[in-house]
Structure 1
Amino acid sequence: MLNANSKSKIFILDTNVILHDHTCIYQFQDNDILLPITVLEELDKFKRGNDLINFQAREFTRLLDEIVGDELFNGGKTLGKGKGKLRIETGKPFSDELKASFREDIPDHRILAIADYASKTYPDRKTILVSKDINLRMKAKSLGIQSEDYKTDQVTDENVLDKTITTLENFDDRLIDLLYEQGSFAIEEIKSEFKPEANECFIFKGNNSSVLARYDAKADRIFRVEKKTAYGIKPRNAEQTFSLNVLMDPEIKLIALTGKAGTGKTLLALAAAIEMHKSFDQILLARPIVALSNRDLGFLPGDASEKINPYMQPLFDNLGVIKHVFNPRSQEYQKIEELQKEERLVITPLAYIRGRSLSNSYFIIDEAQNLTPHEIKTIITRAGEGTKMIFTGDLQQIDSPYLDMKSNGLAYMTDRLKNQDIFAHINLLKGERSYLAELASNLL
């Protein structure tokens, strides 16, 4: 039995928490953890496969094997200094209330039965069911069982989610003139309390003129941002101008481009990559495959390539936009064809990238809002010398049932890496696809 007199909490973990983070049992400080036997049964179904959830299931099983012992089923086994105990709890009978509310005998309801049992067995301790499944959390609350999301890797600063370009009105015209004359000025030239983040972008507006600028933390200077074209793609607003500026800066190795559909995130990243193709051995474009209507790829007709193509089509569409800027006989058009033929420009599912070491590559990861924090970390740690990584995504369009605006990998990365001198984040707000697309995005 767990210590009934302890003042620490008891956390009961759902399967999806382990599939999200296999190290989760070490994230609850000195509180105790109950692991329903049903969770182990469900993990068995996920151990085979190449997706990240399969990796998480296998890693957790290995981790559990290292701490195995009779104590896991009898009183609980300590997880280390300053940590609580871990106990595997066998199935418990459904209470009358649970039977009346949820008649179906499914894993979720067996987990609820154990949570119900624990809350009644240890009335002096707070029992909390941890799940990334909103429906299961609501079911628990309907039975009077406290439940919450797994919060360890959630965003702590919500301001990163709706970041906008800072506009400073009534700015010193003398400093604006300096930017146009010299291209930069030292940060101490600004006399007021001004503490920008690394690579933060600004619109300075004076009485007579205005200028786009970015703060370089390494040099501790403000630099003017010029409007540049990338392989025929011209920026249409200040946000896109800033985006191309950081995308083509060799000193910035990691970039997050967020924004709603039609703001040009992927198009700008791809145009910048092709513009800089001489500096990199390979340009890679990848996106996670999120199955439609919870159906696996096997449901789709055709071979592996034909199954994957529909998911990759948006990337080919963006490449088509760039190609159509040029005449098919032009050198620029032929260069894109050549890069594809030589496999120096590759569009591929993200699953095909995992496990590789990427050196001197320009790597664009689209739809990154559908990645978990652990997936983001796994991808970034593949970056070898000379590699530049760009993550693009719309935080309003998350397709994964277990991720939200605070827990997805794109938001997590942006929150944790802000103010690092090799990282930049641009949030694009203005849609440029068409007036119709912008209207639909804003009103529907």
Structure 2
Amino acid sequence: MAKKNYVLDTSVCLTDADVLFKFENHDIFLPLKVLEEIDGHKKRQDSVGSNARKIIRTLDEFRAKGSLEKGIRIDKGKGILKIVSFSNLKDVVFPADLDLRHPDHVIIATAKTIQARQSSRKTILVSRDINMRVICDSIGLQAEDYVSEKAVTSSEELYNGFSIINFDDEVIDRFYSGEDIYPHNFTEEMPSAMNPNQYVMMVSNANEKKSALACFKSEHEPLKKIVHKTLPDWKIDARNKEQAFAIDMLMDPSIKVVSLVGRAGSGKTLLAIAAGLQQTIGLRSDENRYSRLIVSRPVQPLGKDIGFLPGTMEEKMLPWLMPIQDNLKFLMGDRANLEMYMEKGKIEIEA
């Protein structure tokens, strides 16, 4: 891959304090004007201020290794970091329309000058500022948005937690019979970089309707058969593979944090609460791993903030906690059982 020059804008540095480590083996240029603007934000008591202080500390650590003016290797396998002053680049012609009293224009002019001086390499200005990118495009300078920290816009962009992989028919039979199946020994379709606790739908090469559900733990462990597809104490049965995966991971004590994403009504809250009850007050003593179930929900008001609502704290919280209470009452049959366990301290509901 041909090396590139990336010139970073202030907005990028204040968005991600680790941005200097995100450009693989390409070289990074920081205009001096960017440092000046970062310094102006370091006293803020929010994420912007925190990022400003962190990146300043990172640059100070780099400074101890050599000259930032001449360039410093960011890390093994990474590119070179240089801090450039526009005053040292004035011998290169740049568009007269750029007002150098404007910080953004100084940064753009710096990038344009680097582009002219290193014409053999592609020079790209990285900025979260749309107008800066438009200006760059109008003067023949390539510009990109910084997408590493951008929020996803749909659930399809998220890691879905499972893969559908083809296996020989006999391998699936052996898996069902209880034989240890190490996936990389039996299929070339297995992704080279599977994640721990990633689920697998094993589909027969001979018959696509023949399948098995498993969980990948590591390359050194056989595929784990999905044991928990039901929560019998609460009469919950998985209706699809996604719910089966969810129940299995919620009931696996080795998995410390579970994140469920899906459409409204797909069972996320119900399954999570049912699995919590199963392991707290369930009928099977070997599954009672916890002494208390705490169910919480973040307060995200659509209208007035909670402090402006009338009534006691309990009355203010009721609209946010109703979905949780509804799920608990559905699982436990009636409100009396729920209130009994809440009085005993076995179940807590909070926001």
What is the deviation of 1:50? Answer: 4.6
TM-score, L = length of structure 1: 0.52
- Tell whether the 8 Å contact from 1:227 to 1:241 is kept in structure 2 after alignment: yes
TM-score, L = length of structure 2: 0.63
1:11 to 6, 22, 33: 6
C-alpha distance in structure 2 between counterparts of 1:110 and 1:250, whole Å: 55
Aligned to 2:199: 200
C-alpha distance in structure 2 between counterparts of 1:304 and 1:87, whole Å: 49
1:335 to 337, 341, 351: 341
C-alpha distance in structure 2 between counterparts of 1:67 and 1:339, whole Å: 53
SS of 1:86's equivalent in the other structure is strand
- Tell whether the 8 Å contact from 2:295 to 2:324 is kept in structure 1 after alignment: no
1:271-282 equivalences under 5 Å are: 271-277=274-280, 279-280=289-290
1:276-315 equivalences under 5 Å are: 276-277=279-280, 279-280=289-290, 283=294, 285=296, 303=307
- Tell whether the 8 Å contact from 2:202 to 2:213 is kept in structure 1 after alignment: yes
Q: Does 1:63 align with 2:58?
A: yes
What is the deviation of 1:201? Answer: 2.9
> Could you say if the C-alpha distance between residues 60 and 9 of structure 1 is closer, same or farther in structure 2, counting changes exceeding 3 Å?
same
Aligned to 1:319: 324
Aligned to 1:186: 180
Compute the RMSD of aligned alpha carbons.
5.1
SS of 1:186's equivalent in the other structure is coil
Task: Kindly provide the CA deviation profile for residues 87-133 of structure 1, in whole angstroms up to 9, marking residues without a partner as x.
Answer: 1535899833446xxx9x86545533432343345545532212345
C-alpha distance in structure 2 between counterparts of 1:35 and 1:279, whole Å: 56
C-alpha distance in structure 1 between counterparts of 2:350 and 2:251, whole Å: 19
> Could you say if the C-alpha distance between residues 9 and 313 of structure 1 is closer, same or farther in structure 2, counting changes exceeding 3 Å?
farther
1:51-200 equivalences under 5 Å are: 51=47, 53-67=48-62, 75-79=69-73, 83-89=79-85, 95-98=95-98, 108-133=104-129, 136-150=132-146, 161=159, 166=164, 171-172=169-170, 175=173, 179=176, 184-187=178-181, 193=187, 197=194, 199-200=198-199
1:409-420 equivalences under 5 Å are: none
Identity %: 25
C-alpha distance in structure 2 between counterparts of 1:189 and 1:115, whole Å: 49
Structure 1 stretches lacking a partner, 5+ long: 1-6, 293-298, 348-444
Which residue identity is paired with 2:72? T
Task: Kindly provide the CA deviation profile for residues 149-172 of structure 1, in whole angstroms up to 9, marking residues without a partner as x.
Answer: 447789xxx997467653769945
> Could you say if the C-alpha distance between residues 14 and 32 of structure 1 is closer, same or farther in structure 2, counting changes exceeding 3 Å?
closer
Aligned to 2:214: 214
Aligned to 1:237: 240
SS of 2:82's equivalent in the other structure is strand
Q: Which has the higher contact order (CA 8 A, sep 6+)?
A: 1
What is the deviation of 1:287? Answer: 6.1
SS of 2:266's equivalent in the other structure is coil
- Tell whether the 8 Å contact from 2:199 to 2:245 is kept in structure 1 after alignment: no
SS of 1:140's equivalent in the other structure is helix
Which residue identity is paired with 2:335? R
Task: Kindly provide the CA deviation profile for residues 330-358 of structure 1, in whole angstroms up to 9, marking residues without a partner as x.
Answer: 434543576598xx6554xxxxxxxxxxx
C-alpha distance in structure 2 between counterparts of 1:190 and 1:175, whole Å: 17
Structure 2 stretches lacking a partner, 5+ long: 151-155, 281-287
- Tell whether the 8 Å contact from 1:25 to 1:33 is kept in structure 2 after alignment: no
- Tell whether the 8 Å contact from 2:5 to 2:26 is kept in structure 1 after alignment: no
> Could you say if the C-alpha distance between residues 273 and 17 of structure 1 is closer, same or farther in structure 2, counting changes exceeding 3 Å?
farther
- Tell whether the 8 Å contact from 1:339 to 1:345 is kept in structure 2 after alignment: no
C-alpha distance in structure 1 between counterparts of 2:344 and 2:46, whole Å: 32
Aligned to 2:284: none
- Tell whether the 8 Å contact from 1:323 to 1:333 is kept in structure 2 after alignment: no
What is the deviation of 1:319? Answer: 1.6
C-alpha distance in structure 1 between counterparts of 2:344 and 2:45, whole Å: 35
What is the deviation of 1:232? Answer: 6.1
What is the deviation of 1:145? Answer: 1.0
C-alpha distance in structure 2 between counterparts of 1:221 and 1:335, whole Å: 38
1:44 to 21, 40, 43: 40
> Could you say if the C-alpha distance between residues 266 and 331 of structure 1 is closer, same or farther in structure 2, counting changes exceeding 3 Å?
closer
Which residue identity is paired with 2:17? H
- Tell whether the 8 Å contact from 2:162 to 2:199 is kept in structure 1 after alignment: no
SS of 1:48's equivalent in the other structure is coil
What is the deviation of 1:260? Answer: 4.5
